[in-house]
Amino acid sequence: MYYDINVILIFILGLIVGSFSNVCIYRIPRNESIIYPASHCPKCCSKIKPVDNIPLLSFILLKGRCRNCKTKISVQYPIVEFLTGLIYLIIYLIYGLSIQTLIYIILSSALIIIAFIDLNEQIVPDAISLPGIVIGFILSFFVYYISFVDSVLGIFVGGGIILIIGLTGLVIFKKEAMGGGDVKLAAMIGAFLGWRYIVISLFLGFFLGALTGICLIIAKIKSREDVVPFGPFIVLGSFITLLWGEKIISWYIGF
């Protein structure tokens, strides 16, 4: 049977990057350095030994508790690690050993970090989205699968759609539904994926966001007045699009 060792390697790479992403998700909103100090338990401050810092495995072996003080470790840690490994793996299976795979895995890590910071703190960090817009634009000059015109259009179409919807919501409902953070996030994704993909991403994001909102209201977990962060849905929509965008487009044209 043919099998590709890279599949395993890329998944492990994703787990390791996911482990580092957890550090970013915790520290970036707190304006802490993502390098120093080394990982430590947020409760008892004891340093986490390398053997207890193995993605996924350590969480299972330690039964989700700090070795020193037995405080529960958030289940978000293994989730972020596994998600990163999984998305790396699917990107590789679709795009193979290519520059597109490399750029897409970097983009997806940035998006996972943004999505979880938004879930936890209801902010989209400028520290990632603003450099992301610039990097996506610069890269478009060097890669074959997106032109710089498409990248620029992506920035303005992506940011513009959210801006218009946000302003409309503000005028009609007198409520801030989408913040400036979402505008910059959509612009960043547009810079990497171009105008067609950002339109699909946002459409999927709105759809999934509305669906989730309705489910949460029906299940009485949230009320109509609660604000559900929109960033994670934009990210989810863009993941679906960067993986299966061409399929979605040819399906749509087939109608």
Which residues of this protein are in contact with Zn ion, per CB under 5 A?
A: 41, 43-44, 66, 68-69, 71
* Of residues 39 and 98, the one with the C-beta less far from Zn ion: 39
Return the amino acid letter for 71: T
CB of 104 to Zn ion, least distance (A): 36
Closest CA relative to residue 101, chosen from 166, 187, 4, 218: 4
What the block records as the tokens of 149 is 């015109």
- Closer CB to Zn ion, 53 or 168, in the complex: 53
Task: Give whichever of 42 and 131 is closer to Zn ion, judged by the CB atom.
Answer: 42
Instruction: Name residues whose C-beta falls within 8 Å of residue 43's C-beta, 6 or more positions apart in sequence.
Output: 66, 69, 71
User: Which is nearer to Zn ion, 48 or 248 (by Cβ)?
Assistant: 48
Least distance (Å) between residue 235 CB and Zn ion: 30
Q: Tell me whether residue 66 or residue 185 sits nearer to Zn ion (CB atom).
A: 66
Minimum CB–partner distance for residue 68 and Zn ion (Å): 5
For Zn ion, give the closer residue by CB, 26 or 195: 26
Output the smallest distance, CB 66 to Zn ion, in A: 3
What is each CA distance from 74 to 42, 53, 64, in whole angstroms? 11, 14, 7
Min. distance of Cβ 12 from Zn ion in angstroms? 27
Q: Which long-range contacts (CB under 8 A, 24 or more apart) does 239-242 make?
A: 239/87, 239/108, 239/111, 240/201, 240/204, 241/193, 241/197, 241/200, 241/201, 241/204, 242/91, 242/104, 242/107, 242/108, 242/193, 242/197
Q: Least distance from C-beta 19 to Zn ion, angstroms?
A: 17
Which CB atom, from 41 or from 242, has the smaller least distance to Zn ion?
41
Task: Please state the closest distance from residue 50 (CB atom) to Zn ion, in A.
Answer: 16
